[in-house]
């Protein structure tokens, strides 16, 4: 009677699969470390220019307060409040100015898993992501902060026997402004992310059109989460996001049509052939 075959020893298979996994973790750790170093260097440079950053961030509020006759001062509640403010603005500047290198490290990590033709879009994607992030943050500073402050400070009473004057502390103000600017910065990445997903074949315009009703609800929820609790700033984020969703549909339409035309004139290529 024949002996049944021994079950295959899976130890070697486990070791073989564990090695690439550990290599990916090591690669991820290296990329994160390089990104943090870049952000740290940019943060040091931002700290050296902390006075300019202070005037840039507080300018819209001071302008609105001056127009309404509400004084021209911000206060701090703790002994180290001003120092903490400058350190936090330096960290914000580090993230803002270091964003191109952070995105470059991210896509250097993702790149080896893409097709060869898809790896060529990494550099344009990093550039477009940086422009969209900076554009969103600057849009918030230029067009959102002043109307938001104007709306909120309209509730102050600066004349008459019973005066109600704002006493805004710098710590809460920084949190307010940073949340708004970063929220807009990341929200403006929508077309870039949609374009990348369309290029790798994960997303197309038909899927975006099919879920447009849910997208509108999700956009207003995201705007409520990423902005301070006032209607004006939420509308200022929701309306551009709706427009960007339409732009995303247009971008994915163009990319999807190109992919479909390319697949009709040439046979599909395997990942092994392209990698």
Residue 172's pLDDT is what?
Answer: 86
Alpha-carbon dihedral angle through residues 104, 106, 110, 114, given to the nearest 10 degrees: -30
Per-residue pLDDT band at 14 (split at 50, 70, 90) = very low
What's the mean per-residue pLDDT of the chain? 81
Tokens of 92: 């914000």
111 vs 102: CA distance, rounded Å = 14
User: Is 246's pLDDT higher than 90?
Assistant: yes
User: Is 1's pLDDT higher than 90?
Assistant: no
User: Is 176's pLDDT higher than 50?
Assistant: yes
User: Is 214's pLDDT higher than 90?
Assistant: yes
Mean pLDDT of 85-107: 86
Tokens of 72: 């021209």
User: Is 17's pLDDT higher than 60?
Assistant: no
User: Is 105's pLDDT higher than 60?
Assistant: yes
User: Is 16's pLDDT higher than 70?
Assistant: no
Number of C-beta neighbours around residue 245 at 10 A: 18
Q: Which range among 15-19, 65-69, 129-133, 245-249 shows the weakest confidence by mean pLDDT?
A: 15-19
Residue 273's pLDDT is what?
Answer: 47
Per-residue pLDDT band at 216 (split at 50, 70, 90) = very high
Residue 2's pLDDT is what?
Answer: 54
Residue 40's pLDDT is what?
Answer: 92
Residue 272's pLDDT is what?
Answer: 47
**What string of DSSP letters covers 148-190?**
HHHHHHTT-B-SSSS-B----BHHHHHHHHHHHHHHHHHHTTH
Tokens of 186: 């990341």
Q: Give 159's Cβ-side CA count (13 Å radius).
A: 3
User: Is 111's pLDDT higher than 80?
Assistant: no
| Structure confidence by residue, pLDDT tens digits, 141-168 | 998 899 888 888 887 766 666 667 788 8
Residue 13's pLDDT is what?
Answer: 47
Residue 41's pLDDT is what?
Answer: 93
Tokens of 155: 């509730």
* Residue reference for tokens 């309306």: 239
**66 by DSSP, 3-state: which?**
helix
Residue 248 burial (CB < 10 Å; 0-12/13-18/19+)? buried
Residue 244's pLDDT is what?
Answer: 92
């Amino acid at each position: 009677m024949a002996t049944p075959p021994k079950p295959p020893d899976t130890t070697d298979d486990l070791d073989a699969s564990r090695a690439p996994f550990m290599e990916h973790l090591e690669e991820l750790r290296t990329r994160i470390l390089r990104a943090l170093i870049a952000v740290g260097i940019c943060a040091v440079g931002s700290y050296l220019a902390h006075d300019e950053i202070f005037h840039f961030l507080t300018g819209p509020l001071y302008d609105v307060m001056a127009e309404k006759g509400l004084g021209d001062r911000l206060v701090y509640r703790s002994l180290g409040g001003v120092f903490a403010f400058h350190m936090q603005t330096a960290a914000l500047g580090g993230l803002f100015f270091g964003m191109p290198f952070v995105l470059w490290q991210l896509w250097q990590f993702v790149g080896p898993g893409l097709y060869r033709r898809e790896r060529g879009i990494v550099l344009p994607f990093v550039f477009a992501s940086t422009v969209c992030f900076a554009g969103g943050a600057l849009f918030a500073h230029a067009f959102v902060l002043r109307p938001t402050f104007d709306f909120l400070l309209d509730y102050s009473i600066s004349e008459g026997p019973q005066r109600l004057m704002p006493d805004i502390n710098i710590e809460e103000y920084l949190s307010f402004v940073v949340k708004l600017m970063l929220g807009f910065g990341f929200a403006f990445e929508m077309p870039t992310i949609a374009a990348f997903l369309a290029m790798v074949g994960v997303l197309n315009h038909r899927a975006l059109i099919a879920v447009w009703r849910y997208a509108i609800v999700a956009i207003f929820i995201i705007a409520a989460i990423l902005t301070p609790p006032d209607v004006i700033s939420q509308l200022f984020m929701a309306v551009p996001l709706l427009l960007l969703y339409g732009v995303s549909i247009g971008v994915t339409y163009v990319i999807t049509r190109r992919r479909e035309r390319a697949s009709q004139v040439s046979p599909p290529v395997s990942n092994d052939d392209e990698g």
